[in-house]
Structure 1
Amino acid sequence: MLETPTLPDILAARAASEPETVAMIVHGSGELTFGRWQARSNAVAHDLLNRGVRRGDRVGLVYPGSGWIDYAVAFLGVLKAGAVAVPMSDRMPAAEIEQIAAHCSASVILTGRDGPPPEGGAGSSTSPPEGRAGSSTSPPEGSRPPLEGSMSPPEVTLRPADMAQILYTSGTTGKAKGVAATHANLAFGARTQPRRRAFAHSRHLVHAFPIGTNAGQMMLVNALTAHPAVVTLPRFTPGRFAALIERHRAGTVFLVPAMAVELLNLQEGPDLSSVLLLGSAAAPLPPAVASGLTRMFPKATITNYYTSTEAAPAQTIMLFDPDRPDSVGRSAAGGDVRIASPEGADLPPGQTGEVWMRSPAAPRSYYDDPAASTEVFRGGWIRMGDLGYLDDDGYLYLVDRDGDVVKSGAFKVSTLKVENALYEHPAVVEAAAYGLPHHVLGTTVAAAVVLRTEVPDADIRAFLRDRLAQHEIPSEIVRMESLPRNRGGKVDKRALRARA
C-alpha cells in the first residue's frame, strides 16, 4: 500500500536527509533550510500546546508578504500541534480578519506584525474574537521554547482524514467561504522519499503569490516537496520580479495573468532565457497575453492551470497551443472534468453547460456550512461556478463565470470572449467586460480598459467588429488607471458594476 504522508512527515524526511538544503528564499528577508524549518516549526508547535491549543483548534495566521519564512514556520507548527491552520494576509481589512476569526472560532491568531517573530517562537499573537471560547494567547512566563528550537516534534498523532487547513475564498461572487482541507488533501501525490521531485529541471522556482491564497499555498507545498528552492518577494512589481528571475537563473516561474500583463509592459527587461516552464494560475490566460509571453520567455513552455480553492488538487493543464488558444486544457493528476446541465445531466462535446471537476484526493468542503457544501460538493465532484464546453478530444473551454454572463436581449454574451478580443488591440494593457442595466435590453455589455496610449472609443469598436458580433461589442468603454482586483489577483467585477 502506498504511504499517506502529511506535510509534517515530508518536512521531517527532508530535514533528516538534507538539513542544509535551502527550501525557501524571500528577497530582502533571508532564506530557510529544511533543518531550520523543522526545528523552528517544532518549537512553534510546542509553544502552541503550552498555550492550551489542542487537536482541531483553529489557529489564524496573519502575515505580510515579507514574512513568508515566518509564515511557513508557523503553518507547519500549527499542523504539528494537531491544530487547523487558517491562513490570512495582513492586507485584509481588520474587519474581515475579525469576521473570519469569528466564523471559524479561532482560539489563537499568530501575526507577523512588528517584524519577524523570535527564532523558535510562534510570533506575535492576538486574542480570539470577543466572546469566543479558546485558550489565552498570552503564554505564561517562561513557557516559550528554547531559542534554537532544538526539541523534537510533539507527540501528536496526525491522521490523514483530520482537518488541516481552512482557506477563505476571495469572494468574487459573494461573501467569502471557508474551504476546509484534510491532511490527505494537502499532501496528495507527495511522498517522503520520491524517486524524482517535481520541477527537477530547476534550481530555483520564482513566484509572487500572496499569503492566504490557494496559489500561495501550492507554492508552500512546492517548497516542501519539489526539487527547486522556492523564491518570492514581499510585493510584486514587474521590474523586481523579472530581476529576481535573472538573479537566480530560475528555471520555473509561476504568476497570475495580471502579473503577466505587467511584465509584458516592461520597456527593458533582464535576461529571462533561463525559464523553461512558466505557469499561469488563478484566472484564464488571454491568448494575446500567452502569445506575448512566448516571445518574452523564449525557452519556456507556457502553461495555464485551471482549478479553484474548492477543487484543489483537481486541475486542468494546458500547454499553450496556437491551434487551441482559448482552451484551459485537459484534466490532470488523476482528476476528471465534465459538463452538465442545470439538472446535473452530462452534456455532449461542444455543448455549453456547467463545469464540474472531480478531485483525485479527499475532497474539500465548506467549513460549518453544510447547505453550501451540499450545493457545491457532490460525490467527489465539485461545481466550479463556470460555464464551458469540451471538444471531442476532452479539452476544456471556458465560456464565462456563471454570474458574469451578460444576458443582453435575446443573446447571452461571454465576457471572457469580449476580454480576449480587447487584449488583441495594441493599445490595450488590461481589459474587463461586465454587464450594466439597460432599459430595453435588460443588460448590456460594458468594458473597463487600461490603455498604453489614448484611443477613441470609435476606433476600439471598429477593431472589435472584426472579432465580435454586434451584440458583443461594449456599449460603454471606461478608461481606468488600473483594474480593481481581489487579493487573489482576479478582477473584481462587482466593484466595476458598483462603480458604474
Structure 2
Amino acid sequence: MSTTLSELLRARAAAEPDQDALKVAGSGTLTFENWWRRSDAVAAGLMRRGVAPGDRVGLVFGSPDWLDYAVAFFGVLKAGAVAVPLSDRLSGADTDAMLAHCGAALVLRAGQLPTAEGPVRTPEPGDLAQILYTSGTTGRPKGVAATHGNLAYGWGGRRRPFAHSRTLAHAFPIGTNAGQWMLANAVGAHPAVLTLGHFTPGRFARMIEEHRVGTVFLVPTMAIELLAAGAHLKSDLSSVLLLGSAAAPLPGKVAADLSAAFPRATIANYYTSTEAAPAQTVMLYDAARPSSVGRPASGGAVRVATADGEPLPAGATGEVWMRSPTASRTYYGDAAASAGVFRGGWVRMGDLGYLDGDGYLYLVDRESDVVKSGAHKVSTLHVEEAVYEHPSVVEAAAFGVPHPALGTAVAVAVVGGVDHTDLRAFLRSRLAPHELPQHLITLDALPRNHGGKVDKRALREVVR
C-alpha cells in the first residue's frame, strides 16, 4: 500500500509523541510530536506566503541545522510543495544555478522558517516531493525528481529497521542522497537518529561512546579518518553492532580494517545512487569477497548489460543497471538526459561491473573514470585497491592524465607517509605493467565535494 513520509510522521507522532526522533549532539532534540507540530506551522506559513502545490522551495542548510532542516522539509511537503535540499557548503554560484534550474519560488534557511496556524495539504503518493541535485563529479549536477511514493517506499511495516539499536548515528551532510536516507530513517526506523554539527574522528567517536550507539553510518573517507586517527582505540565503541558505509565504494582493505577495529559490528557496504534509490545492493563484509558491493535488496534488482540494455552473462563486464522497486525517479526538466538513464523501471548507474555466479556485484569503475592507456583500459578502482594494501597509505585515488604517447596515463594521489620508490616496487607485483602509475603525488588530503566523494577533476589539475 502506497504511503507518504508525511503520513508516516503523523502515525509516529500519534503513537509515540514524546519519543526522540532526531538529535544533534550538543544542540538539541526533536520528538515526533514536536516535529509534527512545528512542520504543520511551517506548512501553514508557506501557504500564507502564497506557496502553491507543486511550487519548488529551496532548503539551504548546514550540518548543525539538521533539526530546523527536518522541520522545514516536512513543512514543504505538507504545503503540497516540492523540497529542494541544498547544502550551505555549496558555492553561491552553484546554489543560484540549482535554484534557477528548478525555478524555486522561495528559499528557506536555518532560523528563517515562516510559521502560521491553519489547515495544511495532504499530498498524494504520486505527487512530486523532492528534487535532489547530483554531486556533479562527472559533469554538471542534475536535478533528480522523486515522488512521495518513491521516498516512502519500504517504510511503515510492522518491523522497523535497526531494531537492535536505540540510537543510530551518522555524519552525512544535508543535500545528499545519503542524508535524505537518514531523514527517512528518523521517521521510519526504530532508533533515534543522531548526528553532529561538524565531523572530526575524535568528536564522532566520543559521541558514539556517550550515546552507546548501536548503528553507525559513514562515507568511506570518514571511516578512513577514524582508523587513521586511532579513534577506535581512544573511545569505547563496543556498543556498535552495525557499521554501514555508503555514498562511494568501500575499499576491501578498509572494510577489513573496520572489521578488526569493530569486532562486535557487522560491516555493511551499501551501493545505490541518487537516481536509483530506493533500489540498492548491500554487502555484509566477507573476506572471501572483500571488494563486492553485494546483491540486490529493498525489492530491487541489478543486472550487467550492454549499452543497449541487453543482459550479459556472469563474469562479463558491462554497464551496471538497477531496477527500482517503486515509481522510478527522473531528471527534472531534462527529458533527453532522462531517456538515456531511466528505461522501463531500470536505471543506468554510470558504472562498469560484473556479476559472479552467485549474483554478487563487483564494480570495475565509473565509466567516466576508466583510463584508456594505449591499447588498454585500466580500472581506477582496481589500482586503488592495490595501493590501499600498502601499510603506509591512508587514502588513495587513481585517475587519468594526458600522456604524449599513450593518450592517457594512470596517476595516483596518496595521503600518508609512503615513499614513492617503495610504493612503485610494492605495486609491481600487484598490477599489470599498463596499470602501474606514471605519476605519483602525495597530498595532505584528497579534494572532495560536499558529499564526501573524491573530486578527480581537481586531482587532474594538480598533476598538469
- TM-score range normalised by the length of the shorter chain: over 0.9
Equivalent position SS for 1:394 = coil
Equivalent position SS for 2:268 = strand
State yes or no: 1:427 paired with 2:392: yes
Structure-2 residue corresponding to 1:140: none
Equivalent residue for 1:339, pick from 275, 284, 304: 304
Structure-2 residue corresponding to 1:485: 448
Structure-1 residue corresponding to 2:80: 82
What residue identity is the alignment partner of 2:41?
A: A
Equivalent position SS for 1:265 = helix
Q: CA deviation at 1:28?
A: 2.1
Q: What is the CA–CA distance in structure 1 between the aligned matches of 2:122 and 2:31, rounded to whole Å?
A: 25
Structure-2 residue corresponding to 1:100: 98
Structure-2 residue corresponding to 1:497: 460
Structure-2 residue corresponding to 1:359: 324
Q: What is the CA–CA distance in structure 2 between the aligned matches of 1:401 and 1:195, rounded to whole Å?
A: 38
Equivalent residue for 1:37, pick from 35, 38, 45: 35
Question: How do 1:410-425 residues align onto structure 2 when only pairs under 5 Å count?
Answer: 410-425=375-390
Query: How many percent of aligned residue pairs carry the same amino acid?
Result: 65
Q: CA deviation at 1:5?
A: 1.4
Q: What is the CA–CA distance in structure 1 between the aligned matches of 2:40 and 2:122, rounded to whole Å?
A: 14
Q: Deviations over 1:28-58 (max 9, x none)?
A: 2100000000000000000000000000000
Question: How do 1:238-277 residues align onto structure 2 when only pairs under 5 Å count?
Answer: 238-267=201-230, 268-277=233-242
Structure-2 residue corresponding to 1:236: 199
Structure-1 residue corresponding to 2:173: 210
Q: CA deviation at 1:409?
A: 1.0
Q: CA deviation at 1:269?
A: 2.2
Question: How do 1:140-219 residues align onto structure 2 when only pairs under 5 Å count?
Answer: 144-145=115-116, 153-154=119-120, 156-191=121-156, 194-219=157-182
Equivalent position SS for 2:36 = helix
What residue identity is the alignment partner of 1:172?
A: T
Equivalent position SS for 2:319 = strand
Equivalent residue for 2:18, pick from 14, 17, 20: 20
Q: Show structure 2 runs of 5+ residues with no match.
A: none
Asked if structure 1 preserves the Cα contact closer than 8 Å seen for 2:353 and 2:365, the reply is yes
Equivalent position SS for 1:334 = coil
Change (3 A) 1:153 1:315: farther
Q: What is the CA–CA distance in structure 2 between the aligned matches of 1:319 and 1:226, rounded to whole Å?
A: 20
Q: Deviations over 1:143-169 (max 9, x none)?
A: x42xxxxx5751x23111100000000
Structure-1 residue corresponding to 2:70: 72
Q: CA deviation at 1:478?
A: 0.6
Structure-2 residue corresponding to 1:139: none
What residue identity is the alignment partner of 2:427?
A: L
Q: CA RMSD in A?
A: 1.0
What residue identity is the alignment partner of 1:186?
A: L
Asked if structure 2 preserves the Cα contact closer than 8 Å seen for 1:39 and 1:152, the reply is no
Equivalent residue for 2:367, pick from 393, 397, 402: 402
State yes or no: 1:60 paired with 2:23: no
What residue identity is the alignment partner of 1:212?
A: G
Structure-2 residue corresponding to 1:132: none
Question: How do 1:114-133 residues align onto structure 2 when only pairs under 5 Å count?
Answer: 116-117=111-112, 121-122=113-114
Asked if structure 1 preserves the Cα contact closer than 8 Å seen for 2:44 and 2:118, the reply is no
Q: What is the CA–CA distance in structure 1 between the aligned matches of 2:268 and 2:159, rounded to whole Å?
A: 21
What residue identity is the alignment partner of 2:165?
A: S
Q: Deviations over 1:14-36 (max 9, x none)?
A: 11111000001101210000000
Equivalent position SS for 1:428 = coil
Q: What is the CA–CA distance in structure 2 between the aligned matches of 1:322 and 1:72, rounded to whole Å?
A: 38
Q: Show structure 1 runs of 5+ residues with no match.
A: 123-143, 146-150
Equivalent residue for 1:330, pick from 292, 295, 298: 295
Q: CA deviation at 1:220?
A: 0.2
What residue identity is the alignment partner of 1:18?
A: E
Structure-2 residue corresponding to 1:314: 279
